[in-house]
Structure 1
Amino acid sequence: MSGRNEGKELIIKPKSDSVFYIIDLEGKVLSTLNTGLPYSGDPLFVNGGKQVVFRGGQTKSKLIEGFKEELYIIDEDGKNKKQLTQYPPMDTTAGKFGYKAGTPKLHPTENYITYQSKQNGKYSLYAVSLDGQKHWKLTENKENEGWHDWSPDGKWLAIELFDNDQTQFHIGLMNWETQELKILTDSTYQYQQSPSFVLKK
């Protein structure tokens, strides 16, 4: 899910539906957003909440051939849908179930989208501009990279890191200016995933 209007409105993906719901903090459905795709997930408000970036698929599930997962952007009223990413057509290393375009995150100050993607046999973080014109590999860590989050000022990047066999997951914190990476976790737990920044009062 994602928030707008100072957190007073949320966009969510109900499990039993193929559209997004925009709700208030009481759970009241304010509006719905139909992307026109068989599968839509991981909605993210961008451009002040006027548009939404999301993961889309050409079939209802990865279990069905032709899923073709990519990131899209669409207006809040369901108009002007545009595909942002293009997975390399000759790369088969993600297989059927690996992320080709994972959950999108918005860099809070530079306004580009970051996401995980398994390419050339390794999960890495990639980026795409909101107009879809610029694509680049975001980081060069040796470990596989997955779910991640940006600090509100855009100066820090928290990353889920894991080995090829997925036997150990760690959370790393990267100084975005210096690219210095520090591992925050130990091996007490095998799974340490999906980091999120929170504001401390």
Structure 2
Amino acid sequence: MIPQASLAAALSEKRSDRRIDVLRHIQDCGSISEAARRVGISYKAAWQALDTLSNLAGVELVQRSVGGRGGGGAQLTADALLLLEAANAMGQAREQLHVQLEHARQLPAAADPQARTAGAAGISVATTLARLQVMTSMRNQWPCVVAQLSRSGPLVQVQLQGAAAGAQFGLQSHITDESAQLLGLRQGLPVLAMCKATAVTVQAASGATALAPGGNG
């Protein structure tokens, strides 16, 4: 049975930008290893990006040729080219919408009730829409900031800082090095931490709430 392409699924995650970048550079240079170098990730992380996008789309996105006079290479399929076209269009539309809404938010108080409401708004439109875009049944979600990254072999310990109900808290989670690369994690980066209640170990107030290995971050 021929799989049905689902480009919307491949684009549904806000954090897919680096994965899409891998496709863009493969289109430019015809090489997965060179695309990984240009994006600033490992060859293994680039393959993880391609596997993730292919699984989400349900179709093959890259065709590889091994050996030969040119030494082999990689070429995007027609579905991958359509995916890039859709990603570019969505990026432009998001940027235009963000500019329009942020402009409305900064309007001074005026006779127009809508303008007054927009001017008094205190939310970050881009951040709020990005959080709403995440499709998950997990109720435990906390906006956080990356405080520190510590690498140990194939894993990266991510320390996060957040606040809820007027109190500050800390979170720790372990993810693979490839996932850390694709997420572009760095100190000071705002993130949304999510986990199941069964994946949480709570420590004393002097410590940090720890997400068990395998928890989502």
RCO (CA 8 Å, sep 6+): is it higher in 1 or 2?
2
Per residue, is there more strand in 1 or in 2? 1
Which protein has the larger Cα radius of gyration, Structure 1 or Structure 2? Answer: 2
TM-score, normalised on structure 2?
Answer: 0.26
TM-score, normalised on structure 1?
Answer: 0.28
Per residue, is there more helix in 1 or in 2? 2
